[in-house]
Amino acid sequence: MGNTGYYTHRDFWKHEMGRGHPECPERLDAIEDRLLVTGVADALERHDDDIPLATLAQITRAHSAEHMERLEALAQRLVADAPAGGPDHAPVDPDTSLCRGTLLAARRAAGAAIAATDAVMGGQLQNAFCAVRPPGHHACREQAMGFCFLNNVAIAARHALDEHGISRVAVVDFDVHHGNGTEDILAGDPRVLMVGIFQHPFYPFSGTDQPADNMVNVPIPAYTRGMDVREMIEAVWMPRLEAFRPELVIVSAGFDAHREDELGQLGLNENDYIWITSRIREVADRYAKGRIVSLLEGGYNLDALARSVEAHVRVLADL
């Protein structure tokens, strides 16, 4: 107890969506290199060879079996057509495509979320950061979209509730994009409180139309700076989190709200991620025995992503 876990797996490098795509394997290389060169990696309990694949029973806590069948049919078609020179990718939306390694990576990413949740809930770890891809928070119950195929956060939240005897899980999402998939799956579930910030109006153009009572959405105009975002979090998130008293906090840790990230237009920096993570830790320490599972979502400027993950993980690990 007291250690911070770090979960990653080589299968996450097997998913790619074509040359020049921002959601690329090099994102994980940048994170690994930064944690190594700064010495942060030495303070983490690494898990990279003991991560199982999520089972269908675990996945269908958040997605329908038909959703998995559709993804598997696309993957099988790619494999079957390969000997005849078939395509390397199958599109699921204009920006998202599946390759032959995608489902392996996605099931392993969901498996990492579950394994980290088990270790944190079981007391083997105080908290954990999962450097996973593909990301998950846009994946809806019935639809892959926005670079996402399986909703790692929703799968982990439902697993914790069903398998670990707790009744309140908070989901915190600070990605620049609204976590529409997580909301689609968890809206109306009184066991879950989801709090999120996101640039608005912006992809996926959701999160403002009468959200369910357990959804605390904070839309933020483009070019908003970090101090203003902090004020919004303090005023809107914190009272709801305090009243909810979560027994576990799961984080959709997207770092594309960084001012150097070209896929968004918000103005956060590493100090803002330190502050946000510290506030999350205060809630977890007060109500959840410090239990946090953080899962990588967005972040596409490689240098800014690596620095931001370092800042986030330093707070988790008390460095």
* CATH for 164: 3.40.800.20
Whole-number pLDDT of residue 27: 98
What total number of domains does the chain contain? 1
| 169-173 β-sheet, strand order | 45-47, 4-7, 127-130, 292-296, 248-253, 169-173, 192-199, 215-220
Whole-number pLDDT of residue 207: 96
> How far apart, in whole angstroms, are the C-alpha atoms of residue 95 and residue 75?
17
The overall average pLDDT reported for the chain is: 98
Catalytic position from the list 138, 159, 178, 200? 138
Q: Read off the pLDDT of residues 171-227 as tens digits, 9 standing for 90 and up.
A: 999 999 999 999 999 999 999 999 999 999 999 999 999 999 999 999 999 999 999
Alpha helices by DSSP H, listed for the chain, are 26-37, 56-59, 65-81, 102-121, 152-163, 180-186, 226-232, 238-244, 270-287, 302-316
Question: Residue 68: which domain range?
Answer: 4-317
Q: Read off the pLDDT of residues 217-266 as tens digits, 9 standing for 90 and up.
A: 999 999 999 999 999 999 999 999 999 999 999 999 999 999 999 999 99
Give catalytic status of residue 178 as yes or no: no
Whole-number pLDDT of residue 2: 67
pTM for the full model?
Answer: 0.98
Q: Read off the pLDDT of residues 36-88 as tens digits, 9 standing for 90 and up.
A: 999 999 999 999 999 999 999 999 999 999 999 999 999 999 999 999 999 99
Q: Which residues of 46-59 are buried (b: 16+ CB within 10 A; e: fewer)?
A: ebeeebebbeeebb
